[in-house]
Amino acid sequence: MADRLLERVKPDRLGEWFTRLTRPTGPPPRPTRRGRTFDAAVALAIGVSSVYYVLDNMTGIVDRGDRPVPAPGEWIGPVIVAIIASAPLTLRRRYPLAVLWIVLAAVMVTPHDAPRLTFYACVVAAYSAAAYSPHRIPTLASLGVAVLLVSTDSALPTVPDQYAPYLILVPIVVAANGLRTWKLRTDEGRKRLSAMEREQAEALRRAVEHERARIARELHDVVTHNVSVMVIQAGAARKVMDAHPDQAREALLAVEAGGRAAMTELRHVMGLLTTDTPADPDSPGPAGMVDLAPQPGLGQLETLVARVCKTGMPVKLTVTGQRRPLPSGIELAAYRVVQEALTNTVKHAAGASAAVTVDYAATRLRVEITDTGGTPGTSRTTGSATGAGRGLIGLRERLAVYGGTLRTGPHRADGYRVTALIPLEAS
């Protein structure tokens, strides 16, 4: 039987049990400077009162007057015990369990007729271990030992009559101060909560404004480009309707295609607002569903250029560098730059030709649109009467999100140039 018991109690099992007993079950205490100062004051007060108790009650040195002082052996030992029990209290928050063990050792050597010598130090050490020690199991065991040691004394210390008022007034003052502190902290917490709520409301308002501005830019880009192309195609169809019906039919087909493209991109933008919209008879998807196809990017530039070419304006697209996939936001921003520049050329430079260059470099993407001028219309530097320059402003804001820049200005004799530079991560 004993052999089986020894087999079960192996060294590794003992190590595992010891690890479980010594493993912290809570966060380690982090005393503050104010807490350390308070602990030092408590230790000093208990130490002074204990030494005074030794010199006054156990030996009578304080009240002897002209009588001979007792031999040092009669009071040096109790004074040392009082100091050993009170001095470690300065570290009661940092090492609560170790302080309790030291105080318990002092309690064990305290004379039975002088329990007051270490009683108060033991109470403070026991409270500190219960409140701050992260080692719960050893702490509970040590508290049980402390109860046994204190209960074995024949007589517990009594409180002198001169200290009774302090025992009544001090707890009342401490409780009142704690209640006032709790009220102040509660008021401060409410103020902070109100401030946080106001900040959150303000952040939500700014986010809504930013989202509205972004959607407004999307609507401007979609409507301006497609409607401008549709107006030009409709005008061309009207002019050649009698003389060249076939050309008028092609122009009207281009108007229809532009309208469908505008509706598709409008559904993209409206999809940002809601995903539960009424059924659209022209929508290719099921009734009540929003067309959530990807936003246009650099891969759709060929389609954009072809749609502009149908208005009668020649456009040449050139792509240089190693073409690679980019973040969707950057591709959408570059697409909108080309769309806005070509739209301005169609509106303000009839008869011009345009060139679009997309250059993929290692650390940046350059998009440049130039035109030859044509018949001048409304100035592109100030914006149209209806747009008020919002298109270029929106493009600058859109590019600024990705650290990009937009430059616009005259090109050669009567032409115009729009250049966008967007930084990219190195390949």
Dump pLDDT digits (tens) for 185-223. 888 889 999 999 999 888 888 877 776 777 677 777 767
Based on the number of CB atoms within 10 Å of its own CB, is 71 exposed (0-12), middle (13-18) or buried (19 or more)? Answer: exposed
In the predicted model, what is the mean pLDDT of residues 26-31?
A: 72
The percentage of residues in the chain with a pLDDT greater than 70, rounded to a whole number, is 71
The percentage of residues in the chain with a pLDDT greater than 90, rounded to a whole number, is 13
**Cα–Cα distance measured from residue 188 to residue 195, given in angstroms and rounded to the nearest whole number:** 10
- Asked if the model's pLDDT at residue 145 lies above 80, the reply is yes
pLDDT of residue 355: 95
- Asked if the model's pLDDT at residue 164 lies above 50, the reply is yes
- Asked if the model's pLDDT at residue 48 lies above 60, the reply is yes
Say if pTM beats, i.e. exceeds, 0.85. no
Residue 222 and residue 343 in contact, taking contact as beta carbons nearer than 8 Å = no
**Cα–Cα distance measured from residue 126 to residue 96, given in angstroms and rounded to the nearest whole number:** 8
pLDDT of residue 405: 93
> Which residue did the predictor score with more confidence, 412 or 214?
412
Coil vs helix vs strand at 418? strand
Lowest mean pLDDT of 3-7, 39-43, 83-87, 189-193, name the range: 3-7
Mean pLDDT of the chain: 77
How many Cα atoms are found within 13 Å in the side-chain-facing hemisphere of 265?
A: 26
Among 269, 322, 328, smallest CA distance to 300 is for: 328
- Asked if the model's pLDDT at residue 277 lies above 90, the reply is no
- pLDDT tens-digit profile of 235-248? 877 887 878 888 88
pLDDT of residue 338: 93
Question: Domains in the chain, ordered, with CATH?
Answer: 28-159 (no CATH), 213-273 (1.20.5), 298-375+389-423 (3.30.565.10)
Residue-wise DSSP of 340-370: HHHHHHHHHEET--EEEEEEE-SSEEEEEEE
Amino acid making up residue 232 = I
Residue 297 and residue 328 in contact, taking contact as beta carbons nearer than 8 Å = yes
- pLDDT tens-digit profile of 349-393? 888 899 999 999 989 999 999 998 876 554 454 444 334 456 777
- Asked if the model's pLDDT at residue 167 lies above 60, the reply is yes
Among 358, 354, 355, 356, smallest CA distance to 320 is for: 358
pLDDT of residue 20: 62
pLDDT of residue 109: 84
175: confidence class by pLDDT, cuts 50, 70, 90? confident
**Cα–Cα distance measured from residue 269 to residue 116, given in angstroms and rounded to the nearest whole number:** 82
pLDDT of residue 280: 44
Amino acid making up residue 146 = A
pLDDT of residue 413: 78
Q: Which range, 70-74, 156-160, 244-248, 260-264, is most confident?
A: 244-248
In the predicted model, what is the mean pLDDT of residues 36-55?
A: 87
Lowest mean pLDDT of 66-80, 242-256, 297-311, name the range: 66-80
pLDDT of residue 23: 66
